[in-house]
Amino acid sequence: MIAVIWVCAAMLSVAAFLVLTRMATGPTMLNRVVAMDVLIAIVVAGLGLEAALNRHATTLPILVVLSLVGFVGSVSVARFAAHDDKGENT
Amino acid sequence: MTVDPHSSESSGHVPERHNGVQWPMLIGLTVVWVLLWGGLTVSNVLSGLVVAVIVTLVFPLPPIVFTGRLRVRGLAVLIGWFVVDLVVASAQVAVQALRIRHRPLNAVIQVDLRSRSDLYLTVTAELLSLVPGSLVVEARRSTSTLFLHVLGVRDESDVEAARRRALRQEGRVVRALASDEELAAYRSEGVGR
Amino acid sequence: MNIADVVSAACLLAGCTLSLIAAIGLVRFPDLFSRMHAGTKPQVLGLLLVLVGVGLRLRDWTDIGMLLAVAMFQLLTAPVAAHMIGRAAYQGGAVRQDTLLVDELTSALEADDPGQSGRT
């Protein structure tokens, strides 16, 4: 079990790094929002992994909050900040 | 169910937001509250109900018109196919992502749904969006039309396959939720195509 | 180590692999919409698998209830967020025509009254 969780943690780390490069390069706000959504999914997976490893439930409320905050964040950006994207490509 | 005297006027194009208490909404919010507190106790349920009443009064929503009935078999087929779709589509998108020197061609397709119901339109759109590889770009209530962005199409036959997939998804939704009359209307609509 | 632990480990592994592949897709795909398709995987199937894995490990109904809430929120909100982003992108002209084989929305929008385009 522990070995599996370490392998998972390594994969998630690489994934988070790749997503961060996409967030840095953009090129537009919407691309960064998509990257942020994926990053949040990865953080949720990481917290779940840790909860599974140590068999505790203290971090579970954080998962709920993260999934909702991520949604509000991406919808707000899509609704209000997307106008900056006009004229740019992709 | 409603206590709003104006609700009879809401048969226009856009259902108006009304201030009545909607029981399904109340129960749903209370269940969420109990899940979040993590324990089924009397105080949890009561405080959840109070919060749910406040939320539904402060943020009124148009009522969901649900005239059909839940069919257990249709629902099982819907959920089963959804899981299958999810796994298959995830694998397909994974292959697309890993293929070297491969630029997937995409398509934006128009899908005219056969049913005329906001609820089925919404559920179909939700399910289609949840499956990787198809994404709802635009939806029109007036004509029950969805515009889907589809990943990885090679030719016209792939486009038609994606359209048929979306229509099959709608068919499963209707078969799981619709009333007998709606189902009959849906079937006769399908004959003309 | 019993069967539930083995299944749980398999679920966690599969979920994390999906996240990694999605991240690769996010970096490699050429345009916003393809990247969104890649991003749907960890948000839906990957997350569900991880939550099942955690639930099988914890085996406590209170915790499983909370995990169910997370799964439910995610399934309800992910399509809405994706639709909002997709729509904003399309209206902002961020869709790349060179990656499209067929585009039936642009022609449908042009056929409409210009004042009506983009509204539901």
Minimum-distance CB partner of C23 among A38, A55, A64: A38
Q: Is the peptide bond before B62 cis (omega within 30 degrees of 0)?
A: no
pLDDT at position B5, please?
42
- Nearest residue on chain B to C33, alpha-carbon basis: B149
Q: Which tens digit of pLDDT belongs to each residue from A76-90?
A: 888 876 565 444 444
Q: Which tens digit of pLDDT belongs to each residue from C60-109?
A: 888 888 888 888 888 888 888 888 888 888 777 666 666 676 777 776 66
- What are the residue ranges spanned by the domains of chain A? 2-85
Which residues of A fall within a CB distance of 8 Å from C30? 90
Q: Which tens digit of pLDDT belongs to each residue from B91-144?
A: 888 888 887 776 777 888 888 888 777 788 888 888 888 888 788 888 888 888
| Residue whose tokens read 């069919």 | B71
- How would you classify the pairing of strands B134-140 and B145-150? antiparallel
- What are the residue ranges spanned by the domains of chain C? 3-116
Radius of gyration of chain B (CA): 20
The CA distances from residue C5 to A20, C8, C20, in Å, are 32, 5, 22
**Is residue C47 within 8 angstroms of chain A, CB to CB?**
yes
Chain A nearest CA to C84, separation (Å) = 6
Helix residue spans in B99-191 (DSSP H): 118-130, 156-177, 180-191
Say if the Cβ atoms of C70 and A19 lie within 8 Å.
Answer: no
Radius of gyration of chain C (CA): 19
Tell me the angle at which helices B156-177 and B180-191 cross, rounded to the nearest 10 degrees.
Answer: 160
Q: Which tens digit of pLDDT belongs to each residue from C98-113?
A: 667 677 777 666 666 5
The CA distances from residue C120 to A33, A83, B87, C15, C19, in Å, are 24, 19, 31, 36, 33
Say if the Cβ atoms of A8 and C43 lie within 8 Å.
Answer: no
Q: Which amino acid is at A86?
A: K
SS3 A64: helix
Q: Is B92 within 8 Å of B158 (Cβ atoms)?
A: no
- Residues of B with a Cβ under 8 Å from any C Cβ are 32, 34-36, 38-39, 86-87, 90, 93-94, 96-98, 103-110, 125-126, 129-133, 135-142, 147, 149, 151, 153-156, 159
- Nearest residue on chain C to B106, alpha-carbon basis: C100
Which residues of B fall within a CB distance of 8 Å from C34? 104, 106, 151
Measured distance CA(B91)–CA(B181) in Å, rounded: 38
Minimum-distance CB partner of C13 among A7, A51, A86: A7
The larger pLDDT score, comparing residue B190 to residue B4, is at B190
